[in-house]
A and B are shown apart, each in its own frame.
Chain A
Amino acid sequence: MAFRLRLGTLEGGMIGRGVRKFSGSPCLNLKSKFLSSIMSEDRLQPDPVIEAYKRDIDRSLLRQNLKLTVEERFLKLMELQQFAAELRQAGQRAGQ
């Protein structure tokens, strides 16, 4: 994580853009080039903002979801939609 955050900082925030070239000291430029060279092209470039959001992701919920089949995930989503709709209706009734 620390490595990825550092790399993201070196190369700048890049949501939806290409990697912004770092134009600081030659030493840091070399470091940046080195880090880029060891990153696989298949890997996503880390973004510091997204890394910050990632810290708060509840991975236990994700693990539970990954145990389900794709079909079960959709059925669960529809149950959640139903529940949200019922909550909205209850809220409206309470506000009347």
Chain B
Amino acid sequence: MTDFPSLIRLLTQNNVEFILIGGAAATAHGSTRLTQDLDVVYRRIPDNVGRLAASLAPHSPYLRDAPPGLPFRFDVETITRGLNFTLVTDLGDLDLFGEITGGGRYEDLLPHTIMLELFGTSCRCLGLKRLIEVKRAAGRPRDLEAVAELEALLEMKERQS
């Protein structure tokens, strides 16, 4: 089980610049769907990459579904050479994206975020409309129902306001 509060607190308390996306962002907006991991877009600047690596180091980050025993180190060099990582940690599954289809990088998504106050901290979350656009852009058939639910949520929120 993914410990969402601990993962979010871990990143925010280490001043990692990130944006919640994916299923966790959908949950924040009111989705009822089950998601197993925390998806975030992280800012790819050296300082932030350093903070990200340092914050996760004590939590045994490892490539999800990879055979055990690989010489994998989640450090600044690995993050810099790579882009997106699907990790398992002792706090749960964490997907880190340097860039996402249809959304771009952290800086591209930043104007479309909202601030969430939760678990004694605050973090950025992709806004509902942009989240829908990004999921549409991904074009994955398994997302169709999720997009439909998010659009229904958007309609309900627009009617309320």
Residues of A within 8 A of B (CB): 15-16, 42, 44, 47, 49-51, 53-54, 56-59, 61-63, 65-66, 69-71, 73-74, 77-78, 80-82, 84-85
The answer to whether residues A47 and B34 also contact, given A59-B152, A74-B27, A78-B4 and a CB cut-off of 8 A, is no
Contacts of B34 in A (CB 8 A): 77, 80-81, 84
B: number of interface residues (CB 8 Å): 38
Residues of B within 8 A of A (CB): 1-5, 24, 27-28, 30-32, 34-36, 101-102, 116-119, 129, 132-133, 136-139, 144-145, 147-149, 151-154, 156-157
Distance, CA A50 to CA B147, complexed state (A): 7
The listed residue (B2, B118, B138, B151) touching A70 by CB distance below 8 A is B118
Contacts of B31 in A (CB 8 A): 62, 65
The listed residue (B3, B102, B145, B156) touching A59 by CB distance below 8 A is B156
